[in-house]
Structure 1
Amino acid sequence: MKAVIQRVIRSSVSVEDEVISSIGRGLCVFIGISRDDTKKDMEFIARKILSLRLFEDATGRKWGAGAKDRRLEVLCVSQFTLCSALKGNKLDFHDAMPSDRSQQFYDEFLALLRSNYEADLVKDGKFGAYMEVNIVNDGPVTVEIESPRRNKPADQQED
């Protein structure tokens, strides 16, 4: 599972020229689900999104607080292209979870994120739709996180 996290001043998602979700200051998170992802991957990514220190803390110290610490909004957008590989100049999606399974997985991920935070502060796009994502970056700050691979030795996996 992968997440590309952008610190934003504001962000919104539109489908067919209709804004379906928007946030103020917080995180816009693009989520890629691989075919072999498990609940453990989901839990890892959710924990990192909420605790990653990308904001100033209450004393103004940079990189001192996470979105959860600051009660900031999170906008999640499913993006299967994060699990693609290049074959020549063409994208190959064999590593992405098939859409019939990935929608349920994504919905479970959102439910987990909401249960570990404040549900009304976690928004999302429309799964499987052609979306227009508007982002006003803050910084810009962009971080990519990938869940640990199960074939990695235990001493090399992150918490």
Structure 2
Amino acid sequence: MDRIGPAVLLAVVFVWLGMVLAISFLEAPLKFRAPGVTVRLGLGIGRIVFRALNAVELVFAVVTVAVLAWAPAGAPTVLVVATLAVVAVQLGLVRPVLHRRSDLVLSGEGEPPRSRAHLVYIGFEVAKVVLLAAAGVTTLVATA
């Protein structure tokens, strides 16, 4: 891998990691503590914020795949592929379940029973954080 590939990979992986940490573990839970923010309003805001995060994640996924296709990096490649698998499961399987549940709340039909899908999503977010951190550190060590 030449010098540009690792630099791009490091930048994307660490910015992606920072975004996930800031949005999933700070913004998401804290918005419901703000004065006047109802569950319905918080869900509406959350949908917009997570839609934006997921769009950026898809761009980052394309960039990382392009960088690794251009110059495979060994261990970071496996970690990035695992991260992409986590994102695919989140967007393809877990988010639709959460979306249906939030549709009920946003439509004013009340709050449906608690769902484990949210805990599953959080578990995938934790896995994504670990994988992104490991990919970044592995790339950093490999280029040192």
TM-score (norm 1): 0.27
Larger Rg: 2
Q: Which structure exhibits the higher relative contact order, with contacts defined as CA atoms closer than 8 Å and separated by 6 or more residues?
A: 2
Higher strand proportion (structure 1 or 2): 1
Higher helix fraction (1 or 2): 2
